[in-house]
Structure 1
């Protein structure tokens, strides 16, 4: 039978897009449905039939297959060689071959066509459920978001990812209510696969729903710093969550509660919307000490003490007379949750009853002190083990020092000596002494030689300062370039100038003359005097200074117009 291949292909693509079933799977389902319907129409389930769908040619071919035999025993399944050759003259058949009897879809009765449709829908539903199973089997234990499709007295129907799930009333939180179109969070508790496909079990009242909310809202639980050890819950009433911190610097209860209770309030806000009173959550610090764990699990009631029987998994707690109802809770919810959380059967008695019966119990303070001592011991042991691991490396001798921590003194000393030698060489080339020798340990001696060359010898004393006083002072002959009479004359001239009125003037010649006089004074004999390094004029430089002084004496200072000089320099300043 010829079909419109284009329309048929577009229908397959639409089914693939809407239901998520591939085109090949749809074609296989259609073939199986036609085979079953054709067999039913032929009147026997053992009939051999074949269906071939060719998309390129746009044809659906159906055949009834019979075996070619010499002698026919069952005419429903067999055909003789003679009849086969007569019915198909184009081919010569032999015994053992197959004879195909063609059929058309138009030959199918209406009941057969309806059965094909019914079987095809059934196969589509099974395929969708299998796809759902593959999709949701990895989402067990997680929260998914959906939209409410239908609400009735028994529960609500929620649309999630191309399918719908049913949430019974008992799996809701308390008396919460939802309307059609409202967004809802549900917990995937289980995905069961069967012959009829996948069955997704969802809930909002399970402990896993609360665990997922804690993981979403509290970062320390998400990254593994804090671990949820156990949860006991009665949805809509109260929940108890035991938490433990793997980091001693992080308080598990404080991290879950948050600043001013901000974190825990976000979680409580998502638990039910029916009543005024929201579900209450108690954060319990988990402890390996069962006595302390049980006492903490009874919060918000504060127990005075406990009598523990670990073999029988039974505990008797003592509370104040006015705290008995708080410890039991409304309709016994507090003690029930404590029993489920710890795994111990808990009996609660008042303090007065314990005194009357003479019950000896361990107080809460003693339990806390015992736990603190145990934790301190464990911490000290861990610290010592850590130090041993850090200080002692496997396979290395005792006292071994890592290469980066060694100090190579010989190498450093050789480098330092080379550096000192280079510094001494550089300072000697400049005529300077070492920088690190104090001035008090240097002695500068001025020597005058016959070859008109002045040299400064800096003698470095290796002896201590205390021995310097015993050194004999040695006088050296110094040649003076200027006579004493000339020096006296220059001094008198300077005294006359100082007595005269101070005028604003600037004379380079006078400055040079004054420098020359200072140089002359600086040339006075120095005997073993400890002074700083100074520059010494050569004989040629001294002769040039004398000639310049003689030339300056020709000028008479009285003939100089100082007002003219003042006017010149005043204009220059402006």
Structure 2
């Protein structure tokens, strides 16, 4: 060991922010383990590294005895007094037991400890960076696909996108650049695990925030999102400024803003709904593009009975019930849709 190591530890402290004392303490602990493994596991030893020269010495705690039965644990009185003149039998003292070739072991061990600590520090930095960015959109490069999980390179680390977070029918190829939503960041033995999603409703929300200045500035608020990723979504918006049309702001000039989002989502249809404090009006809006004749809402049941023109029934319900299902998710209400002729038939039967 040498002063060069101490100098290197000082550089690491400046560049990586790992205190030199912490590294020295870790090296001393590792060297203690290495000594006991190679030279004597029964001894109670300490390892000290000189903070100036980098020199390493090993000390064993021994009991002063008149007759030594175990040299690993005891030291003769005369020998002990050469180090500590005042000691008596029964006292415990530290005796240097540094092996001749311990410098080589110390150098190897120090290198391993420093590399390990640098890895841990890097992992901690990456974890802190991405845990603070949870809920944001990131852009990465597809590295590979393993058992339906897409591994995405984010520069300093890799992230995972499971099958449930992938938009149906999307194909992911190595080298492809994609945007995704950071849904979760976890610590693990191998380092931080970052999970991405393209199906999360908040991915759609963040895309609108990026694309629509009025949302980013707080003039327009996203009230609710209902999404069936890859197929269709509904998003309800509200304007805090009477002069700003929330739907128009989200659609953008010639539909450019929403078209950019649809393109990012590979053709997913998006219905932009005007939110209303009047629940009956809100439910009618949520069933867009269908026209609605009337809405009767029961607050106690959280249930709305909706009447639509006969020719609008299939549109209101949607293919496989999708439009009605998304409207219910968006508003948080159960919705029962009937055509005008169905309602008349029930009344006539009464």
TM range (shorter): 0.7 to 0.9
Q: Using the alignment, how far apart are the partners of 1:160 and 1:254 within structure 2?
A: 34
Q: 1:103 to 1:7 in 2, by over 3 A?
A: closer
Is the counterpart of residue 322 in structure 1 residue 319 in structure 2? no
Q: Using the alignment, how far apart are the partners of 2:139 and 2:84 within structure 1?
A: 65
Is the counterpart of residue 280 in structure 1 residue 269 in structure 2? yes
Select the residue among 174, 182, 190 that pairs with 1:180.
174
Q: 1:178 to 1:335 in 2, by over 3 A?
A: same
**Secondary structure of 2:175's match?**
coil
Select the residue among 326, 336, 350 that pairs with 1:347.
336
1:309–1:315 CA contact under 8 A, matched in 2? yes
Structure index of larger Rg: 1
Question: Superposition pairs for residues 60-75 of structure 1, below 5 Å?
Answer: 61-69=56-64
**Secondary structure of 2:129's match?**
helix
Q: Using the alignment, how far apart are the partners of 2:280 and 2:100 within structure 1?
A: 79
The residue that corresponds to 2:200 in the other structure is 206
Residue 230 of structure 1: CA displacement?
1.0
1:47–1:64 CA contact under 8 A, matched in 2? no
Q: Deviations over 1:525-566 (max 9, x none)?
A: xxxxxxxxxxxxxxxxxxxxxxxxxxxxxxxxxxxxxxxxxx
Q: Using the alignment, how far apart are the partners of 2:69 and 2:347 within structure 1?
A: 97
Is the counterpart of residue 163 in structure 1 residue 157 in structure 2? yes
Q: Using the alignment, how far apart are the partners of 1:206 and 1:320 within structure 2?
A: 34
The residue that corresponds to 1:572 in the other structure is none
The residue that corresponds to 2:258 in the other structure is 264
Q: Using the alignment, how far apart are the partners of 1:171 and 1:15 within structure 2?
A: 40
Is the counterpart of residue 48 in structure 1 residue 44 in structure 2? yes
Q: 1:107 to 1:6 in 2, by over 3 A?
A: closer
Residue 67 of structure 1: CA displacement?
4.1
Residue 14 of structure 1: CA displacement?
7.8
Q: Using the alignment, how far apart are the partners of 1:179 and 1:11 within structure 2?
A: 42
Residue 269 of structure 1: CA displacement?
1.4
1:47–1:77 CA contact under 8 A, matched in 2? yes
Q: Using the alignment, how far apart are the partners of 1:56 and 1:183 within structure 2?
A: 50
Question: Superposition pairs for residues 447-526 of structure 1, below 5 Å?
Answer: none
Q: 1:245 to 1:74 in 2, by over 3 A?
A: farther
Question: Superposition pairs for residues 81-480 of structure 1, below 5 Å?
Answer: 82=77, 85-86=78-79, 89-92=82-85, 94-95=87-88, 96-104=91-99, 106-107=101-102, 123-193=117-187, 198-272=192-266, 278-358=267-347
The residue that corresponds to 2:18 in the other structure is 22
Residue 254 of structure 1: CA displacement?
0.6
Q: Using the alignment, how far apart are the partners of 1:221 and 1:280 within structure 2?
A: 20
TM-score, normalization by structure 2:
0.83
**More helix, by proportion:** 1
The residue that corresponds to 1:34 in the other structure is 31
Q: Using the alignment, how far apart are the partners of 1:30 and 1:105 within structure 2?
A: 19
Higher relative contact order (CA 8 A, sep 6+): 2
Residue 314 of structure 1: CA displacement?
1.0
Residue 280 of structure 1: CA displacement?
0.7
How many equivalent pairs are there?
Answer: 345
Task: Please list every run of 5 or more consecutive structure 1 residues that lacks an aligned counterpart in the other structure.
Answer: 273-277, 360-574
**Secondary structure of 1:51's match?**
strand
Residue 345 of structure 1: CA displacement?
1.1
Q: Deviations over 1:278-297 (max 9, x none)?
A: 10111011111111111111
**More strand, by proportion:** 2
Q: Using the alignment, how far apart are the partners of 1:194 and 1:105 within structure 2?
A: 40
